[in-house]
Amino acid sequence: MSITCISPAMKILNETFGYRNFRSHQREVIDHVVNGGDAFVLMPTGGGKSLCYQIPSIIRDGVGIVVSPLIALMQDQVRAMQQVGVKAAFLNSTLNLEEVYDVEHQMQDGELDLVYIAPERLLNERTLWLLNRCKIALFAIDEAHCVSQWGHDFREEYLKLSVLHEQFPDIPRIALTATADGPTRREIIEKLNLENAGIFSTGFDRPNISYRIVPKKNPKEQLLRFLETEHPSDSGIVYCMSRKKTEETALWLAQRGRTALPYHAGMDATDRQKNQDRFLREENIIIVATIAFGMGIDKPDVRFVAHLDLPKSIEAYYQETGRAGRDGEPADAFMTYGLADVILLRQLQEKSEADEKHKKVERRKLDALLGLCETTSCRRKAMLSYFGEEYPDSCGNCDTCLVPPEDMDGTLAARKALFAVYMTNQKFGTGHLISILTGKMTDRILQFGHNKIKAFGGGTEFKPDEWGSIFRQLVAMGYLSVDMEHGSIKLTTTSKDIIKGDAQVRLRKDPIPDKKAGSSRKGRRESEEAYLSPSEKNLFNHLKQVRLALAKEAELPAFMVFSDSSLREMAVTRPKNEVEFSAISGVGKNKLQRYGDDFISAILKFIADEKSCLKE
């Protein structure tokens, strides 16, 4: 008779976390760190990065120290660990002095598996003194892209984390991120002294997220159509660039029947925290936020992320959209985009106090994002290419794949646009230029005599919206620029290539909005649950109510009790005892003990009630 030996890592995965198998590269990372090696881990959001340091912290002697950038993130992570029976705590400013001393004593006495701490606190003398008196299992540096001075989430304190290597050279370190292009990866490795670390990358693709970018035309109405058509009762995040727009959009959605809450750095801290807690704990909540919201938000069932304004880079877009569908189930990324976004971001770049080297990097990043917005090919392929990852074919899960846009030879249109800019001495914005090209007789046209120039009425083959798209694309391509002070359209050094006929221009035709793309996504989502029978769907919904009641009683977000996928598995297999219930994915020993009786009783009662109804 053969005896199968289960490894400590697999035993913890099964018994503590309730999962049967590791995902891509998790096992390799865990084994590497358990054996004392440093590691740099690049995994997409929702890819299982946390287990890569949580399991080694449990296996190795001592306490795992996790550097985490946000208080809210630490608190959520600690609560999630305690739910599965892992001894975890945090050190941050929310604790009083007595609570701080209690955690510190537990660390020194070896009573904790994990302690989460902000980089600022980690680097103070008292904390370093404390760490020298503790048995340390490992150091995990979460959200490691914060070390990059070129990144959108730069935190200066992250640059000083090299002290961990200097003061604790024999303790393994693991740096983790979901967002890092080639230069950022190299910077992380250099700044954290991880040159000898094992590099583990599972790529950037989030196949469950469907990407869609549409020309901006009354963005709030576009958002409402998107929500009504595809997410009538889902939780999601809407990003706006300004605090004012955040407040206005949340109020506007609330007036139209959605539970929408604002979140931005200018709000009262108590109100901001209250809104975040509601988003985490309740269902069908929409948070309307600036980028102040989101890093490390662990809510797995966010079904959509919408941008009403252009983010600053592909990295920012990737990370923000990555907050959707962390549970691996279908989710949407929706964005409205227009020339005004480009102008505003260019202005912010030029007015910043950064040096010219930094501005150059920021301009390059924005140009790459504009390329993603204007592409006629697969958006996923374009985005992954930016991160240095080849995608073999079109994804079939973005707007350009589902409804392929047409392109056209735009050389003549580009010449007409540039000629109009030249004839008006580069002093006017797109609205005035479009009026000239379409022959619209406005007061300003008459005031400046622009009805008498050759460009007037020379572009009547295109509608005003189409000319708006043409100007937007020419700015994105660098053939035109925007005066940052006055907003007027200017020629660039490359304009002459078009004017002289040395360059050919292909332009994207903006698609006419219809229901085709939406219905494709709706059908895709429905197909994911098509295997549930009516009875199974009823049980699934019943179990969600059981979960909600237990979560409210424990003052926890519902997903910390069980994920939707676990409930769906329960609805299909209908476990009737502890042995069957423990086979459900996500059911470890601690959750079996905490929640097993409640869910098993609910399932048995549902089955009995169902049989009774059938007899009647």
pLDDT tens per residue, range 334-345: 999 998 888 888
pLDDT at 73 over 90: no
Q: What CA–CA distance (Å, rounded) separates 25 from 320?
A: 24
Phi and psi dihedrals of 99, rounded to 5?
-65, -35
55 Cα distance to chain centroid: 25
Q: What CA–CA distance (Å, rounded) separates 70 from 143?
A: 10
Confidence of residue 516 (pLDDT cuts 50, 70, 90): very low
110-143 residue pLDDT tens = 999 999 998 989 999 999 999 999 999 999 999 8
* pLDDT at position 420: 94
Instruction: Give the pair of three-digit tokens for residue 589.
Output: 């020993």
- Stronger pLDDT, 179 or 377, i.e. the higher one: 377
* pLDDT at position 182: 80
- pTM (2 d.p.): 0.85
In terms of residues, how long is the chain?
616
Q: Closest by alpha carbon to 220, among 248, 260, 244?
A: 248
The least confident of 163-172, 354-363, 443-452, 604-613 is: 354-363
* pLDDT at position 523: 41
Side-chain-side CA neighbours of residue 140 (13 Å): 31
pLDDT, mean of residues 405-412: 91
Single-letter amino acid, residue 333:
A
368-404 residue pLDDT tens = 999 999 998 999 999 999 988 888 888 999 999 999 9
pLDDT at 316 over 70: yes
3-state secondary structure of 191: helix
pLDDT at 474 over 50: yes
419-437 residue pLDDT tens = 999 999 999 999 999 999 9
Instruction: Give the pair of three-digit tokens for residue 606.
Output: 């549902």
pLDDT at 525 over 70: no
| Type and span of the H or E element at 79 | helix 71-83
Confidence of residue 517 (pLDDT cuts 50, 70, 90): very low
pLDDT, mean of residues 530-539: 86
8-56 residue pLDDT tens = 999 999 999 999 999 888 999 999 999 999 999 998 877 889 999 999 9
225-242 residue pLDDT tens = 999 999 998 999 999 999
Give me the residues paired with residue 129 across strands. Answer: none
pLDDT at 571 over 50: yes
Domains of the chain, each with CATH number or no CATH:
8-201 (3.40.50.300), 209-402 (3.40.50.300), 407-508 (1.10.10.10), 529-615 (1.10.150.80)
* pLDDT at position 529: 57
Confidence of residue 3 (pLDDT cuts 50, 70, 90): very low
Confidence of residue 158 (pLDDT cuts 50, 70, 90): confident
The torsion angle over the Cα atoms of residues 323, 327, 329 and 330, rounded to 10 degrees, is 0
Q: What CA–CA distance (Å, rounded) separates 178 from 610?
A: 45
How many helices (H) and strands (E) the chain has is answered by 27, 17
Determine how many CB atoms are found less than 10 A away from the CB of residue 226: 20
Q: Closest by alpha carbon to 138, among 56, 26, 16, 43?
A: 56
Range of 259-263, 269-273, 477-481 with top mean pLDDT: 259-263
Instruction: Give the pair of three-digit tokens for residue 435.
Output: 């009026």
245 Cα distance to chain centroid: 20
pLDDT at 352 over 80: no
Over pLDDT 70: what percentage of the chain? Answer: 94
Q: Residues with Cβ < 8 Å from 568, sequence gap 6 or more?
A: 529, 532, 540
